[in-house]
Amino acid sequence: MNIAHWPRILVSKLPGRESAARVPLHLVVPALMVAGAMLLPLAYLLVRAAGADAAAWQQLFRPRIAEVLGRSVLLAFTVTLSANVIAIPLAYLTTRTDLPGRRVWSVITVLPLVIPSYVGAFALIAALGPRGLLQQMLAGPLGLSRLPNIYGFPGAWLTLTLFAYPYVLLSARGALLGLDPALEDAARSLGDSPWMVFRRVTLPQLRPALLSGSLLVALYVLSDFGAVSMLRYTTFTRAIYVQYSASFDRNLAALLALVLVAITVVLLTAEAREQRRARAYYRAAARRRQRVVRLGRWRWPALAFVTLIALVALVIPLSVMAFWLVRGIRAGETFQLLIGPAWRSVLASGLAAGAALLGALPVGLLVVRHGGRFSRLIERTSFVGYALPGIVVALALVFFGANFATPLYQTLAMLVFAYVVRFMPQAVATVRAALLQISPRLEEAARGLGARTPRVLFTVTVPLVRSGLLSGAALVFLTSMKELPTTLLLAPTGYDTLATRVWSATEEAFYARAAAPALLLVAVSALSIGLILARDDAGR
Amino acid sequence: MTTVRRSTFLVMVLLALLLAACSTAAPEPTDDAADAGIVAEEGAEPQSLVVYSGRNENLVGPLIEQFEAETGIDVEVRYGATAEMAATILEEGSNSPADVFYGQDAGALGALAAEGRLVELPNDILNLVESRFRSADGVWVGTSGRARVVAYNPDNVDPAELPESILGFTDPEWQGRIGWAPTNGSFQSFVTALRLIEGEDRAREWLEGIIANDPVAYSNNMVALEGVAAGEVDVAFINHYYLFRARAEQGDDYPAALYFPPNGDPGSLINIAGAGIIDTAANRAAAEEFIRFLLSEQAQTYFATETYEYPLIDSVEPSEGLPPLSEIESPDIDLSTLSDLEGTLRLLQEVGALE
C-alpha cells in the first residue's frame, strides 16, 4: 500500500511551474532585497580573494587543505545522519504517541539547541573525557583508569550530533503536526499496522522537512568552530580561524572560505534535487485531530531512549555549569546582576527573529508558489553565508558597515541585520517546509471569493503555517542568543550580552563567572522555546 | 493591479516599521553623542576614547574604570579576541572608530604595525619599559609581562628531577607525563622564540622529541593546568598566571607549582600584553594618556596583584611567590619578531602537533 499509488483525489501535486513574468512584484522586491543582503559576505570574500598573491594560491593547493576539507565533509555527513536517527523517533514520540509526560518531553528534547557548542563541548569533555567524571565513577567498580580518547573525530561527532539534532527535530515536529491525518487514517482503515503507516505514509510526507532540517545541520557543522576547537578536530572552519589569528592573512583566509562556499553550493544543489523528487502533500483545510498512537509495551524502551538523550545532551552540560557555579560560590566568588545582559540578548535576538521571519516569508512564498529557476536561485542564495564561519560573516559586515554604512555601523540595527544575514536560512528552511504543506487551492478559493492578496496572506496562509513560522523564528532567536563573533564585532560598543559574558569568562578560564550567565542563557532560551512549543502543542 | 500595489505597500510598511523599531531601540550611541555635545558647549575638550581590547573584560575592566574616574575621560571599550580585534581594525580601514588597540600578544601589535596602522608613541612612554618589552620602531609598548613556565604536580614530581632546560623534556623519562596546548597563541609564540634562539632544526627536533613522549594535547593553558592538578599529567607548559587564578577560584591547596627554567632558557620566555595608538585615532592626546596610565604605578600594581602578571616598570614588585623579572633570565630576543607565526604553524603542522 505505497502512497505513491493512491488516487489523486487524496494526494494533490504541486502546480506546474509558472513563468517568471507572472511572479508578483510584491514578492520579488523583498526577496531580491533579502538575497542581496545574504550575498554581502560572498562579495566581501571575492574582494579579499582578489588581493591574494601567488603564494596564497599555492597554499590553497597543498595536500593538507584537501585532507582538512575531507574531514569537514566527513563530519557534516556523519553528524547529519546521526541527527536524523535521533530526531525522527523523538519527533514521532513527542507529537503522536502516549509517551508518559509527552508535552514536557517535547520541550526538553528541543532544548539542547540552546546550549552553545563551546559550552557543550567543554561539559562533555569534563564528563566523558579520558579522566572525566564517568571514568571516576567507573574507576571503583570496574577499575578503569582511562576511558577511550574522545578527542578528535568521535568527540566532535558526538558533540555536534547532540547539539544539532534539534534542527531536524523541530522541522520534523512542525511537519508531523501539520500533516493531514486523513491519509494515515485511510492507511490504517486498510489494515496497516502503526509501523507500516509510519514507514509508508508518514515518513514519505516528512521528507521535505527532514531534508530542510538536515541541510541546516550539515551547514551548521561546516561552520562550527566552538566544538571542533575544544575537541581538537581540525576542520576547514578551524583552519580558517587559525589563518586569521596566526598569520593575519585575510586574503588566504578568504580563499579558504570560498572553498567552503563551493561545498555549500554542492550541498544546496543536492538538497534542491532531493526536494524536487520529494512530493509535497497538502493537508486538509480544517485542522483535524490526529490519532494518538498507543505505545503499549514499547512505552518503557521509548521512555528510556528520550531519557538517555536528555541526560547526555542536557543534564550533563547543565550539571557541569551548576558545578562551576557552586565551586565558585564556595571559593567566595561574588556575582554581578545579569538583568542588563539578559535584556540585551533577548532584545537583539527577538528583533532578529522578527526580521528574519519578515524576510523569509516572501522568499518562501516565492519558491513554493512560483517555483521557477529564478525563485529557486533567490532562495538558495539565502543559504550561502550560513556555512561560513561566524568570524568571516562578521568581518564581512565590519568591512561593509564601517566603509559603506558608517552611520549604522556599531548600532543595534546593524547587529540585528548581521544576525539576520547569518541565520536567515533557518527561517527560510522552516517557512518553506511549512508552506509546502498547505494547498494553493485554499488561497485560490479565498481569492475566488474576492479576498485581496494581503488579506489572503494574513487570514489564510499565515494562520495555516503558523507553527512553521514560529519554529523558524524560534531557531533564529536561539542561535542569535548564543552567537559570539557577530555580537563581539558588530554590537554597539559596550553592548554585552549573556553570550559575550560566557565567552569573556571562559576565555580566561574564570569558569565560576561563566556559569551564571551560561545558566541564565539556557534558562531564557528554554523559556521562550517552551512557550512557543507549548502553544504549538495546545493548538492541536 | 491595485492588489499588487497594496501588498507592495504593506511590505514596505512592515520593513519601515522594522527599521524604526531597530533605530529607536538603539538610543545609547546617540545619547552619548549628545552628552559629548553638551560638554563641548561648556568649553571643555570633548574627552572620550574608544579602546579595542583583545584583553579580557574580567581582567582589565576594573582598571579602565579607575582610569575613567581619575581623568574624567569617557572610555568606550570593545572587547574581543586579540586577533579578531586586530582584524576588525584592518577591515574598518580609515573609518575605524578605534583610538587605542590593547592586545594580549606582541604578534597582533606587530600585524597592525606591519600594515602601518600604528603611530609612533612619545619617548616618555616608551622609556618607561626595558627595550625588550617594546617595539623597535616605537609604535607599541608592553604594559604587562607573562612568563612561560613549567607547571608541575608536587605530589608526583620532585622539583629536583626537573631538567635544566625545557629542551630536557624530550628525555624518555617524561614519556606520557607531559601536557601542552599546541593550538594556544602563547605556546606558539614560545615555539617561534625557540626557532629564533636554537634554529629551525633544533626546534623541529624538540617538537618531535616531545611528540615521541606522547604528550596530552589540551585546548588551552588552563585546561592543561587542570590536567596537572588532576594528576592526568605530571608537567605542563603554560603561562605563569593561570596557577594564581586557579588558586583564587579553587583555593590555595591547588596541587600545582611553577618551575622557571633558568639560564635564558626559551622555556621561560616573557611575552607581553601591550598597546598602541591607531593611525586614525580621533583623540591622540587621550590615547596617550591612557597608555601612560597603563604604565603608572597604580595600574602596574593592579597587574601584579589582580591579574598576577609581571609589572614592567621598575618601581612595582611582582606578586608574592614569583621570582622578580630581573632574575628570570629570559631569552634575549626582539618580541616583534614573534609576529612571524607563519613558519611556526607550518612547523607544528609538519611535525603533526596540530592534529
Q: Is B217–A30 a contact, with Cβ atoms under 8 angstroms apart? A: no
| pLDDT value at residue B304 | 93
Conformational region of residue A297, where left means phi above 0, alpha means psi within -120 to 50, and beta covers everything else: alpha
A–B: how many Cβ contacts below 8 A? 178
Three-state DSSP at B283 gives: coil
Three-class secondary structure of residue B79 per DSSP: strand
B23-45 in b/e burial notation, b at 16+ Cβ within 10 A?
Answer: eebbeebeebeeeeeebeeeeee
Among A234, A246, A416, the residue with its CB nearest the CB of B355 is: A234
Q: Which residues contact A94 (CB under 8 A, 6 or more apart)?
A: A102, A105, A106, A109, A173, A306
Q: Mean pLDDT of all residues in chain A? A: 83
Mean pLDDT of A455-477: 83
**Site from B10, B14, B22 to mutate, A interface, most A CB atoms within 10 angstroms:** B22
3-state secondary structure (DSSP) of residue B220: coil
Contact check, Cβ <8 Å, A402/B91? yes
Chain B residues with CB-CB distance to A29 below 8 A:
8, 11
Q: Which of B5, B7, B89 is most worth mutating to test chain A (most A CB atoms within 10 A of its CB)?
A: B7
What is the rounded CA–CA span in Å between residue A212 and residue B129? 58
pLDDT tens digits for range B253-292:
899 999 988 877 888 888 899 999 999 999 999 999 999 9
Q: pLDDT, tens digit, for every residue of A107-156?
A: 889 889 888 887 888 888 878 776 667 777 777 666 666 667 777 899 89
Residue type, A243: Q
Name, of A114-128, A154-168, A170-184, the range with top average pLDDT: A154-168
Rounded Cα distance between B20 and B28, Å, is 15
The pLDDT of residue A286 is 52
Q: Are A280 and A436 in contact (CB under 8 A)?
A: yes
Query: Smallest CA–CA separation between A406 and chain B, in Å?
Result: 8
Smallest CA–CA distance, residue A460 to chain B, in Å, is 15
**Contact: A508, B11; criterion CB under 8 Å:** no
- A68-107 pLDDT, tens digit each: 899 999 999 999 999 999 999 999 999 888 999 888 898 8
A83 backbone dihedrals φ, ψ, rounded to 5°: -65, -40
B10 to chain A: which residues are within 8 Å by CB?
26, 454
pLDDT tens digit sequence for B172-181: 999 999 999 8
**A452–B250 CB contact, under 8 Å:** no
Spell out which residues of chain B touch residue A249, defining contact as CB-CB under 8 Å: 342
**pLDDT higher at B14 or A204:** A204
Q: What is the pLDDT of residues A234-263, one digit of tens each?
A: 888 888 887 777 667 788 889 989 999 999
User: pLDDT by residue (tens digit) across B200-228?
Assistant: 999 999 999 999 999 988 878 888 998 89
Rounded to a whole number of angstroms, the distance from the CA of B327 to the nearest CA of chain A is 27
Name the least confident of A149-153, B55-59, B131-135.
Answer: A149-153
In this prediction, residue A288 carries a pLDDT of 62
Residues of A in contact with B96 (CB under 8 A): 402
* C-alpha cell recorded at residue B158: 620532585
A52-66, A283-297, B42-56, B205-219, range with the lowest pLDDT: A283-297
Query: What mean pLDDT is reported for chain B?
Result: 83
Q: What is the pLDDT of residue A528?
A: 79
Is the CB of B220 less than 8 angstroms away from the CB of A504?
Answer: no
Q: Looking at the predicted structure, is the pLDDT value of residue B171 above 90?
A: yes
Residue with more model confidence, A171 or A537: A171
Spatial separation of the C-alpha atoms in residues B284 and A352, rounded to whole Å: 37
Contacts of B82 in chain A (CB under 8 A): 245
Q: Which whole number is the average pLDDT over B55-65?
A: 92
Distance from CA of B114 to the nearest CA of A (A): 11
Kindly list the residues from chain A whose CB atom is less than 8 angstroms away from the CB atom of residue B86.
248
Residue B38 has pLDDT above 90, yes or no: no
- B68 and A CB contact within 8 Å: no
- pLDDT at residue A397 greater than cutoff 80: yes
In the prediction, which pLDDT does B222 show?
Answer: 85
- Of A173-187, B46-60, B196-210, which gets the smallest average pLDDT? A173-187
The residue in chain A having the minimum alpha-carbon distance to the alpha carbon of residue B85 is A489
CA distance A509 to A264: 35
Work out the burial of residue A451: count CB atoms within 10 Å of its CB; fewer than 13 is exposed, 13-18 middle, 19 or more buried.
middle
Q: How far apart, in whole angstroms, are the C-alpha atoms of residue B251 and residue B243?
A: 11
B217–A509 CB contact, under 8 Å: no
Average pLDDT over residues B12-34: 41
pLDDT greater than 70 at residue B247? yes
Using CA coordinates, name the residue in chain A closest to B243. A509
**Partner-chain residue, chosen from A333, A493, A504, that has the shortest CB–CB distance to B57:** A504
- Tell me what pLDDT residue A347 has: 95
Residue B34: the pLDDT is 39
Q: Do A247 and B345 touch (CB under 8 A)?
A: yes
pLDDT at res. A145: 64
CA distance B125 to chain A (A): 27
pLDDT in the model for residue B23: 38
Contact B58 A403 (CB under 8 A): no
Burial of A31 (0-12, 13-18, 19+ CB in 10 A): buried
Chain B interface disruption, residue of A493, A495, A510, most B CBs within 10 A: A493
Which of A245, A327, A461 to mutate: most B Cβ within 10 Å? A245
Q: Give me the pLDDT at residue B231, please.
A: 87
B17: nearest CA in chain A? A355
What is the largest distance, in Å, between two alpha-carbon atoms of chain B? 90
**Minimal CA separation from A26 to chain B, in Å:** 5
Q: Say if residue A12's pLDDT is above 60.
A: no
Nearest CA distance, A328 vs chain B (angstrom)? 6
Residue numbers in A near B4 (CB within 8 A): 24-26, 453
Residue B182: closest CA among chain A residues belongs to which residue?
A232
Under DSSP, is residue B275 helix (H, G, I), strand (E, B) or coil? Answer: strand
When scoring B35, B249, B338 by the number of chain A Cβ atoms within 10 A, the one with the most, hence best to mutate, is B249
Scanning B265-324 for CB atoms below 8 A from A yields none
Compute the distance between CA of residue A215 and CA of residue A207 in angstroms, rounded to an integer: 12
Is residue B312 within 8 Å of residue B275, measured between CB atoms? no
Judged by CB atoms within 8 Å, which residues 227-246 of B form the interface with A?
230, 232, 242, 245-246
pLDDT at B219: 74
For helices A466-482 and A412-436, the axis angle rounded to 10 degrees is: 140
Rounded to a whole number, what is the distance in angstroms from the first to the last CA of chain A?
A: 28
Q: Which of A25, A246, A512 sits opposite B188 (nearest CB)?
A: A246
Q: Rounded mean pLDDT of A410-428? A: 93
Out of A398, A454, A510, whose CB is closest to B7? A454
User: Grid coordinates 594618556 are at which residue?
Assistant: B289
More confident residue, A150 or B28: A150
What pLDDT is stored for residue B309 in this prediction? 94
The Cα–Cα gap between A380 and B231 comes to 51
Stretch A252-279: mean pLDDT, rounded? 86
Closest-CA distance, B261 to chain A, in angstroms, reads 25
Longest dimension (CA), chain A: 77
pLDDT reported for residue B122: 96
Alpha-carbon distance of A373 to A524, in angstroms, equals 41
What pLDDT is stored for residue B175 in this prediction? Answer: 93
Contacts of B92 in chain A (CB under 8 A): 398-399, 402-403
With a CB cutoff of 8 Å and minimum separation 6, the contacts of B21 are: A351
The answer, yes or no, to whether residue B186 has pLDDT greater than 80, is: yes
Mark yes or no for CB contact A391/B84 under 8 Å: yes
At residue B44, the pLDDT reads 52
Residue range A415-434: mean pLDDT, rounded: 90
- Best of A22, A23, A25, A26 to disrupt the B interface (most B CBs within 10 Å) is A26
Segment of A383-387, B141-145, B346-350 carrying the highest mean pLDDT: B141-145
